[in-house]
Each structure stands twice: as C-alpha cells, then as structure tokens.
Amino acid sequence: MRGYQSEVIYQIDQNDFLVFFNDQWDLFAQDNDGPHLKSENIYNRKIWDFIHDAETRHLHETLLKRVRSNNTILNMPFRCDSPTLRRFMEMDILLQVDGKIEYRCRVIKTQLRNAVQVVAGNIQEERPFLRMCSWCKKIDVGNNSWVEIEDGIAFLGLLSQAIVPQISHTICEICLGDLEDDE
Ligand SMILES: [Zn+2]
C-alpha cells in the first residue's frame, strides 16, 4: 500500500481558473496515469474542463457557491481511483484572503482494485435519483430529512461512488413553507 505524506493542494481564482498546484499534484497526476493532468498542461484552465459528469459538476458548483458566500470550510469524502488502486480520500475546500479557493486533498485509505469489474449496459438508466431543493440546495437523505449539501455528500458517499446519482430538483418542506408564508 502506498500513501501520500502530504496533501495535494490546488487553487482556483474568482473565475474558476486553476492558478496554483503544489508539488504533490504532479506526483499524484503521474500515479493516476494522467500526464495530461500535469500542472504545466492545465495551468490557467477552468476547473470545469476536468469535471465531465454533469451531476458531479452541479454538486461541486453548489459547494463552491457555499464556500464563497458563507466563508465556511467544507470537508468531504470522495473517491479518486488510480488504474490499480481504489482511493478513498477527503478534501477541504476553503476561501483564501485573496479570494482564491484552495482545495486540499488527502488519502484516507486505499484498496487494490478488482480488475474484473466491467460495467456493461447503459449507465444512464441505472442512475439512482437524488432530490435537491432548488432554493436552499439542501439534499434529501431519506425519510424527508433535508441536510446541507456537504453533510449529504458525506452521509450518502455521493462523491465516493462510481456513479453519481441524477439530481432531481424539487423544493424542501421548509422552503415550501417560507414560500407559502410570503403569499
Ligand atoms: Zn429548501
């Protein structure tokens, strides 16, 4: 088993352009079989160029908005597998004094990947649904229990799965109540 002694750190500016990587980034990219992800190749590219799944992007955009507007530090688990390893990781997302956003990622544990797992068929159809409130961005973790997005991601392991659920936009009970009060 191989671990990283230090964190992989990268930053984006106010317009979501990648503007900083630490040395661990390149080691990590190398390990992921991703020479195209070396820092010199992606400097000043938008972070969204590298998140191809629409639902994952939506989750990340929502998280980013929360960090920028509330100046909170979010911490959540995610998966980032290499060709040989299942990597269980966590990231901190924090706002810097100069307005940049810093991502700090670290490996929690790794497992050897099972080479026989081949996904057949249409993944789109197998996606489970995830309910998100369009107003407050909370997500439903079951039994009509609505929690902040970062808590829901951790609770449901949303960024730790091979397939991110499809997000269905709806309105939670609290926001619905607020709307009705305004009338
Ligand atoms: Zn709501």
Structural domains of the chain, with CATH = 8-113+123-182 (3.30.450.20)
The model carries a pTM of 0.78
What's the 24 CA to ligand 1 centre distance in angstroms?
39
Whether the predicted pLDDT of 79 surpasses 90: no
What's the 78 CA to ligand 1 centre distance in angstroms?
24
Region 134-138: what's the mean pLDDT?
89
d(CA 96, CA 84): 34
Contacts of 167 (CB under 8 A, 6+ apart): 55, 58, 59, 129, 130, 131, 132
What's the 163 CA to ligand 1 centre distance in angstroms?
25
What's the 22 CA to ligand 1 centre distance in angstroms?
37
Percentage of the residues of the chain whose pLDDT score is greater than 90: 40
Distance in angstroms between the alpha carbons of the first and the last residue of the chain: 59
Query: Which pLDDT tens digit goes with each residue over 102-128?
Result: 999 999 988 887 654 544 444 445 567
What's the 94 CA to ligand 1 centre distance in angstroms?
24
Whether the predicted pLDDT of 2 surpasses 50: no
Whether the predicted pLDDT of 28 surpasses 80: yes
Q: Please say whether the dihedral angle defined by the alpha carbons of residues 7, 13, 16 and 18, taken in this order, is positive or negative.
A: negative
What's the 136 CA to ligand 1 centre distance in angstroms?
4
Residue 4 has a pLDDT of: 52
Phi, psi of 110 (to 5 degrees): -130, 155
